[in-house]
C-alpha cells in the first residue's frame, strides 16, 4: 500500500475495539446489538452531505410512491465512498463469525470470512449492485416493517448508523424491530441509537433454541414516525442486489 493510499483511508478507530463475542451474545439474546459510537460528528455530517450529490448514487426510492412509508432513500453507486467501503469491508469479518455460528446452528452453508468472498458469491448469483444506502426522513416520515432481501443470496446481518442527534436534530423516529415468534404473539423492540452509534440486526431471521433444537425466528425492522426535524441514517447491507 502506498503512502497516498494510507492517507486516504478513513479513520475508524472504534472498529478495532468492538467486542464480537458480546455482540453475538446480544444478537442471540435480544435480536439486535448496539455498537457504541462508530463515526465521529464530522464523519456523520459528511455522510449527510452526500445525500444531495446525485453522482454518488445509483438509485433513489420515494417511499410513499411504493407504499413503503414516508421518506426517501438512496443507494450508493460503485465505487462506494471510502468511508462506506471501509465500514463494509472492516465490519464484515466480525459479522461473518456470528453468521457462521448461526449457520452451524441451523445447518446452513458457511459464509466467506472476508467481504471480497461474499462479493464473489453474490456475482455468481447474479447480484452485482451495491446495497449500502442513506435514508432521510422529515416530519411525519416513517418506514414500514420490512426485510432487505435483494436476491437469492442474503447475508444474515446488517448495520445502521445514526447520522443525527435524537431530540436535538429530530424527535420521534425510533428504530423498531419485530420478532415473529412461532405460535406466539410477535415481540417488538425499540432502539434509539445516538449520533454516530450503530445497531446490528438480522436481515430476515435469527436462530433460536427450542425444545427440538434451533429454529428460525423471522425478524422485520422499520422506523416509527418522525415528529420534528430530519433524521438521516446510513445503512450497511453486505450482500449485493440483482
- 3-state SS track over 131-166: CCEEEEECCCCEEEEECCCCCCCCCCEEEEEECCCE
For the segment(s) 16-237, the CATH number from 3.40.228.10, 3.40.640.10, 2.60.120.620, 3.40.50.970 is 2.60.120.620
pLDDT of 182 reads 72
State the angle between helix axes of 41-50 and 82-106 in degrees (0 to 180), rounded to the nearest 10.
100
Contact at 8 Å (CB) between 196 and 38?
yes
Do 97 and 112 touch, CB atoms closer than 8 A? no
pLDDT value for 1: 37
- Domain map (residue ranges) of the chain: 16-237
- Given a contact cutoff of 8 angstroms between Cβ atoms, the answer to whether 139 and 219 are in contact is no
Confirm if 224 and 154 have CB atoms less than 8 A apart.
no
pLDDT at position 4 is: 33
Q: What is the pLDDT of residues 59-89, one digit of tens each?
A: 999 999 999 999 999 999 999 999 999 999 9
Q: Which three cell numbers stand for residue 78?
A: 460503485
- At residue 226, the pLDDT reads 98
* Separation CA 45–CA 32 (nearest Å): 25
pLDDT along the chain (242 residues), means of 10: 49 96 96 97 98 98 97 98 98 98 97 98 98 98 97 98 98 97 87 98 95 93 98 98 97
Predicted local distance difference test score (pLDDT) of residue 144: 98
pLDDT of the residue at 137: 98
Beta bridge partners of 210: 213
Q: Write down the pTM of the prediction.
A: 0.94
So what's the pLDDT on residue 9?
81
The secondary structure of residue 111, as a DSSP letter, is P
Q: Are strands 157-162 and 197-202 parallel, antiparallel or unpaired?
A: antiparallel
Amino acid at each position: 500500500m502506498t503512502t497516498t493510499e494510507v492517507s486516504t483511508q478513513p479513520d475508524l478507530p472504534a472498529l478495532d475495539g468492538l467486542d464480537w463475542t458480546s455482540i453475538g451474545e446480544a444478537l442471540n439474546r435480544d435480536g439486535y446489538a448496539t455498537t457504541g459510537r462508530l463515526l465521529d460528528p464530522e464523519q456523520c455530517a459528511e455522510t449527510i452531505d452526500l445525500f444531495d450529490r446525485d453522482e454518488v448514487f445509483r438509485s433513489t426510492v420515494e417511499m410513499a410512491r411504493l407504499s413503503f412509508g414516508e421518506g426517501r432513500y438512496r443507494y450508493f453507486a460503485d465505487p462506494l465512498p471510502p468511508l462506506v467501503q471501509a465500514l463494509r469491508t472492516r465490519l464484515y469479518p466480525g459479522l461473518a463469525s456470528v453468521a457462521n455460528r448461526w449457520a452451524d446452528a441451523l445447518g446452513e452453508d458457511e459464509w466467506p470470512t472476508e467481504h471480497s468472498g461474499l462479493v464473489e458469491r453474490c456475482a455468481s448469483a447474479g447480484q452485482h449492485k451495491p446495497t449500502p444506502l442513506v435514508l432521510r426522513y422529515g416530519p411525519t416520515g416513517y418506514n414500514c416493517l420490512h426485510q432487505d432481501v435483494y436476491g437469492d443470496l442474503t447475508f444474515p446481518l446488517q448495520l445502521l448508523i445514526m447520522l443525527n442527534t435524537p431530540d436535538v436534530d429530530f424527535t420521534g423516529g425510533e428504530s423498531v424491530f419485530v420478532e415473529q415468534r412461532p405460535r406466539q404473539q410477535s415481540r417488538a423492540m425499540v432502539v434509539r441509537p445516538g449520533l454516530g452509534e450503530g445497531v446490528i440486526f438480522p436481515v430476515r431471521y435469527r436462530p433460536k433454541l427450542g425444545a427440538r433444537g434451533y429454529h428460525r425466528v423471522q425478524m422485520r425492522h422499520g422506523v416509527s414516525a418522525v415528529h420534528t426535524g430530519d433524521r438521516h441514517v446510513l445503512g450497511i447491507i453486505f450482500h449485493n442486489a440483482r
